Chains A and B, each alone.
Chain A
């Protein structure tokens, strides 16, 4: 009866207890960081002696943080757009194309996801140094798009595999041009895949640390580079404030995703 939830007896209690512990473990750092950001102790004493908003004031008073956040947002947005467009074209070819070596090419396009980032980071760093693209926005966007592309291809290709091509064919029979049929029938039907691709590739760039550390220049820093630098010098509560805002952003993204999924189901 091990897969029968209602008839597991004491084992169920034990496993549920364990699951609750693990859920607590997963939640702990996230909740902790938010509480810490409102704590008044500069030395991160916990529980804090009092509550304050001064770390947020310090955060917003320092233009370097805002600058880094805007840089990250700009690079992540460009990366997301580029990965979704390239990924969409590639997915159509991978799902519908009939040519030799399709599986090998799919594997090649997904390799950046499995290769340790540090290897890619030093390779692209050396390459861009030679091309003079190190520390430029274009360099960042190109490198991040390589890393984000698998996260765009997987959801779009999955959605496309689940889409019945005969509906697109029907539109063409009814007089739509092939392009029109794709734009007005197929793309709306796989919009959840496209939307997931956009979120995942945005996050892949927004959260990317390793390539960014190598590529960053004093004049071009993304948010993770700024956090990394602060972490290496001291554990100031300002980082907790910045981190809490990032947690808020994650929650917002989760809510949007959940709402969209619900809308599709109904």
Chain B
């Protein structure tokens, strides 16, 4: 069992190494990258905006309802919403949501190509199938921190609307809380971990799709396994990066 995991980890790093070998023709690569940006980034914006807005709103309401002490300044609602959204919700939880959406799309699309011998067809033509399939996804996912930036912005807007229009505090108190004790390094931390999560989101599902065996039923199984492992790795890396940069 352990040797199987060690073998898989080794195979994963060999896959990443092979992805950067024997590059595909530039004109085709450009087209593939633009296609992947559309499939992985642009098409995810809708769900990210929707979830971020409502989670931001819920964070603000929950915080307001739990600060019942009159000696606690109401501006803390803005402060708590900012910290929760920027430090954890946007980078980590949006990444886990994306592991479900983008990750299963990547695994199932590559897995279907494996099952229907399309990957073998690429290899027979002398094309590095890993470079052709995985490299454009890695490059496209480098734009993932922009999605996180949008999530942060929309989350704070949601928190503002819910708390101000819900009557928990006024706009000035929210803005004061939002600006209180602002540490710019925390933004760097959030974007750095978003970037690392983006690489995990592009490569772990690709690994599960590329090396899958079996038929169409196994494609579904691989997509589920890929989601589980991508989430586990993101959560573990979240702890590791936080311990490294913030403690």
Q: Do A and B come from one complex?
A: no
Interface of A toward B, CB cutoff 8 Å: none
